[in-house]
């Protein structure tokens, strides 16, 4: 579905919603990088602190050669410790929906790791993906794939969507694949809510970027100062929700339609589900993967799991 069709469906639903994948144009990717530098945003720094240990130990679980495929690769920060340490990784396929950002990040990484074959692929990981062909495999020599999905991006899916994604990933990666998954296992609600309500308002700008993008690409007329960012923890679903709340009663034009907003009505823009080690294990196993090894941050706020 196109951005326009998705927006029509989401904004005519009750409650209103938009898919978080539309945060990520070049500006949205830049805001996400700024979020990662915030004091409040524990997931990024907790996972970055854990990855060197993962990198040190990873090869004992891997075949002699693998190609690593990162889903939602962003600025390619998290792949670097793995590429610097692992002897098994021969090729790298970063996949992202944010095309310009991906190509820039891929070119920089290729210069840094000249021996590695880097083949960025623009794509939507909610759809079935055809992986690009690598030079390494040109004589029909297939190299097993290691999926990599850090940043707790899995948490942006509902558990049913997450299961579907993990099943599809297994199909895309092919036989003998493995998967390294980074998931937020923070359980302290105040810490979680602080992470998505930073004092500088960067997360608010990231959230509102979806309206900026609609105004530019879909010719809507959202007034940014008439919507407020709200992030609240939903205990029933164990997820933090991001919303854009209309401060007044108003109408917004989308194509030939008027979208009505009551005062206080929200557009639900993102979920970030928080897992426990037990709920995570149950999810991945229900998607047909087996848990091979778990690395947990000392604070228990983040887990990196290796699946096969
Ligand atoms: C939360 S960020 C994580 C970035 C990076 N992996 C990290 O851990 O720091 C999510 C990334 O996934 C990308 N993304 C979001 N939805 C996507 C989709 N449906 N298909 C492909 N990439 C997507 C975004 O552009 C962004 O780079």
Cβ(220)–Cβ(253) under 8 Å? yes
Q: How far apart are CA 35 and CA 203, in angstroms?
A: 6
Ligand 1 site, residue 280, Cβ cutoff 6 A: no
Residue 128: the pLDDT is 84
Nearest-CA residue for ligand 1 atom 3 is 151
Residue 30: the pLDDT is 98
Measure the CA angle with vertex 103, ends 98 and 106; round to 5°.
115
CATH 3.30.450.20 describes domain 42-187+275-307:
no
* Pairwise pLDDT comparison (1 vs 83), residue with the higher score: 83
Ligand 1 site, residue 266, Cβ cutoff 6 A: no
Strands 66-71 and 145-149: what pairing?
A: parallel
Residue whose tokens read 């929700």: 241
Ligand 1 site, residue 150, Cβ cutoff 6 A: yes
Q: In this predicted model, what pLDDT tens digit does every residue of 249-294 receive, in sequence order?
A: 999 999 999 999 999 999 999 999 999 999 999 999 999 999 999 9
Q: In this predicted model, what pLDDT tens digit does every residue of 180-224 receive, in sequence order?
A: 999 999 999 999 999 999 999 999 999 999 999 999 999 999 999
Ligand 1 site, residue 272, Cβ cutoff 6 A: no
**Distance (Å) of CA 254 to CA 148, 257, 259:** 37, 5, 7
Q: In this predicted model, what pLDDT tens digit does every residue of 90-124 receive, in sequence order?
A: 999 999 999 999 999 999 999 999 999 999 999 99
Cβ(108)–Cβ(185) under 8 Å? no
Which pLDDT band holds residue 139 (cuts at 50, 70, 90)?
confident
Nearest-CA residue for ligand 1 atom 15 is 21
Nearest-CA residue for ligand 1 atom 12 is 72
Domain ranges for the chain? 42-187+275-307
Ligand 1 site, residue 101, Cβ cutoff 6 A: no
């Amino acid at each position: 579905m196109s951005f326009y069709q998705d927006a029509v469906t989401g904004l005519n639903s009750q409650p209103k919603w938009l898919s978080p994948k539309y945060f990520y144009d070049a500006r949205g990717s830049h805001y996400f990088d700024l979020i990662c530098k915030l004091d409040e945003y524990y997931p990024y720094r907790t996972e970055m602190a854990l990855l060197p240990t993962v990198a040190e130990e990873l090869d004992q679980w891997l075949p002699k050669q693998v190609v690593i495929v990162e889903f939602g690769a962003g600025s390619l920060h998290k792949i670097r410790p793995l590429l610097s340490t692992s002897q098994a990784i021969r090729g790298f396929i970063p996949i992202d929906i944010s095309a310009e950002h991906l190509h820039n990040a891929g070119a920089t990484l290729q210069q840094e790791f000249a021996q590695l074959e880097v083949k960025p692929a623009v794509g939507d990981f909610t759809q079935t993906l055809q992986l690009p062909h690598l030079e390494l495999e040109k004589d029909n020599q297939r190299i097993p794939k290691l999926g990599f999905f850090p940043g707790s991006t899995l948490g942006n899916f509902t558990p049913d969507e997450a299961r579907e994604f993990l099943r599809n990933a297994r199909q895309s990666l092919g036989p003998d694949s493995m998967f390294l998954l980074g998931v937020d296992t923070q359980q302290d609600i105040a810490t979680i809510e602080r992470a998505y309500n930073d004092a500088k308002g960067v997360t608010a700008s990231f959230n509102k970027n979806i309206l900026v993008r609609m105004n530019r690409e879909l010719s809507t007329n959202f007034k940014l100062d008439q919507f407020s960012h709200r992030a609240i923890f939903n205990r029933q679903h164990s997820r933090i929700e991001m919303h854009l709340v209309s401060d007044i009663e108003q109408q917004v034009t989308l194509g030939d339609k008027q979208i009505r907003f009551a005062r206080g009505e929200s557009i639900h823009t993102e979920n970030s589900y928080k897992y426990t080690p037990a709920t995570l294990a149950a999810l991945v196993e229900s998607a047909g993967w087996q848990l091979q090894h778990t690395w947990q941050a000392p604070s228990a706020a983040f887990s990196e799991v290796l699946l096969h």
